[in-house]
A and B are shown apart, each in its own frame.
Chain A
Amino acid sequence: MRARATLATALAADGRTRVATLHSQAPLTLRLTHPKGPEPWTGHDAGAARVCVAASAAGPIGGDDYDLTVDVGAGSTLVLRDISATLLLPGPHGELSRLRTTVQVGAGATLVWLPEPVIAAHGCRHRSDIRVELGTGARLILSEQLLLGRHGEQPGSVVQHLRVRLAGRPLLNQQLAVGPGAAGWDGSAVIGDRRAIGSLVVVDPGWTEHPPEPALLGDAAVLPLAGPAVLVSALAPDALTLRRCLDTALARLAGTHGHRQPAAR
């Protein structure tokens, strides 16, 4: 199945963010939504736009090809979330499933993107490519959580490639390959016996002068990049430990002011 979805925001004259484009194609469905859970930076600001990605079918399944394009217009603020976790499933003939996400965050714009975990079921073959272009003064919070297999299950193969550029220069470029077919992935150089892997990228122009210090939080590290940005890289035995670890890091780096009680998960 092929699906394309496009989302664009713009800053309106009253200072609020307006959703200028919201184009979905099943099963990749975009919906306007209300604030949910802790919201770093924007703190439930009514002027921000909030959109949820809802998969209206199981999968992606091997052979599926999804394209998501997000354009956060200059000065606008978008909070992007998922309705639920994503389960990667094998296709009938072992085909690759693909998700391409292309993101532009304009000058002075803010994107807070906190997706739910991606679960790699046994036998899946998936590739995700996220490309983020940040304009001058743009801010970004982006997290990713990958769970290898459902309970007690051997995972399929997943490649996650994240590229972030800031004002035309490379800021972060990391491709993680795990599962059968990635040599040495479960050795102690790559992820070892951990079955929950996560990352959190925070780009804040305020860090140009004073970047955060490197820090260790158990099996997670706060890694200041060569630019006004930080990567938190976390490994955990399970999903809950991973989420707690990323939540702690996010609260530390970006704050979660004005949040309600997190929704039950």
Chain B
Amino acid sequence: MAAETLAALLLLADGRLPAGGHAHSGGLEPTVAAGGVHDIASLEEFLRGRATTSGAVAAAFAAAACAALTAGDTGRFAVLDAELDARTPSPALRATSRKLGRQLQRAMRAIRPHPCWAELGSRPHHPVVLGAAAAVSGLSPSAAALAAVHDAVAGPATAAVRLLGLDPFATHAVLARLGPLLDDVAADATRRAAGSPADLPASAAPLLDLAAERHATWEVRLFAS
């Protein structure tokens, strides 16, 4: 990867990107409340499961959207949107993905103006917008996949520090240990993104679905999802 595109990837994957991601715990808040994550070890297993399920799906859709835009095939966005809906049975998670997608779309309109932001419609799914953002930034589908799977674990990891008071150093050590897994997930996602959208990964995470639905009924919560 050329030096200038590396900088573009860092910009896209930075948690400080003003696209609202910091307000989401990726299902960690309701999981902590249910006792599913209570220490570093249980956080690591949670993140491992998230990376290989919703992380893998997001990575593949980001890579596919990136490849579609790079090839000038923006008509594929609608196909990816419908396929992602079919892989997101939880209505709460579909709503969250579209909300995060719209926030990233809004940020990217200003950061890197491009006609694709209008072509994505008014409520695009987050991984599709992330893939388009990668393409507009001159990044490859593999970079889009890596940004997506990194995003799937980095958000909940930092939320764990706030929710459980976990040691931030130990929490980041978990993210470092997950590095090779994230690389594998991104490589697999990139390989599969070259095929038909119908054959993209569809890994299920039943407890994440349940947690999202439960969390959506809470009246008071620290994180939006």
Contacts and interface: CB of A to CB of B under 8 A. Distances in A.
Interface of A: 161, 163-164, 169-177, 182-192, 197, 214, 216, 219-221, 223-226, 231, 233, 235
Given A189-B31, A221-B210, A235-B210, A175 B48 contact: no
Given A223-B213, A235-B207, A188 B89 contact: no
A164 B83 CA distance: 11
SS class, residues of chain B in contact with chain A: helix
Nearest to B51: A184
Given A184-B47, A219-B210, A224-B91, A189 B205 contact: yes
A188 B49 contact: yes
15 contacts: A161-B202, A170-B86, A173-B198, A183-B48, A183-B51, A188-B36, A189-B46, A189-B47, A189-B53, A191-B207, A216-B213, A223-B89, A223-B90, A225-B85, A226-B85
Q: Which 4 A-B pairs have the closest CB atoms?
A: A188-B36, A184-B49, A187-B45, A184-B48
Contacts of A231: 89
A192 B201 contact: no
B87 A173 contact: yes
Contacts of A214: 91-92, 213, 216
Contact of B49 (A161, A175, A185, A220): A185
**Interface size grouping (class) on chain B:** 35 or more
Given A223-B209, A224-B91, 15 more contacts: A164-B86, A172-B86, A172-B89, A173-B198, A175-B202, A183-B52, A184-B46, A188-B46, A189-B47, A189-B207, A190-B53, A192-B36, A214-B216, A223-B90, A223-B213
Given A170-B198, A183-B51, A216-B214, A188 B31 contact: yes
B49 A190 contact: yes
Contacts of B50: 184, 189
A225 B37 CA distance: 28
Contact of B91 (A161, A185, A223): A223
A173 B214 contact: no
Interface of B: 27, 31, 34, 36-37, 42, 44-54, 82-83, 85-87, 89-92, 94, 181, 198, 201-210, 213-214, 216-217
Nearest to A222: B213
Contact of B206 (A164, A170, A173, A176): A176
A216 B207 CA distance: 12
Contacts of B87: 173-174
Nearest to B32: A188
A190 B205 contact: yes
B208 A189 contact: yes
B89 A174 contact: yes
Contacts of A186: 45
A188 B37 contact: yes
B45 A188 contact: yes
A189 B27 contact: yes
Contacts of A177: 52, 203
Nearest to B34: A188
B215 to A, nearest CB: 11
A182 B51 CA distance: 11
A24 to B, nearest CB: 30
B45 A197 contact: no
A184 B89 contact: no
B217 A216 contact: yes
Contacts of A188: 31, 34, 36-37, 42, 45-46, 49, 207
B222 to A, nearest CB: 18
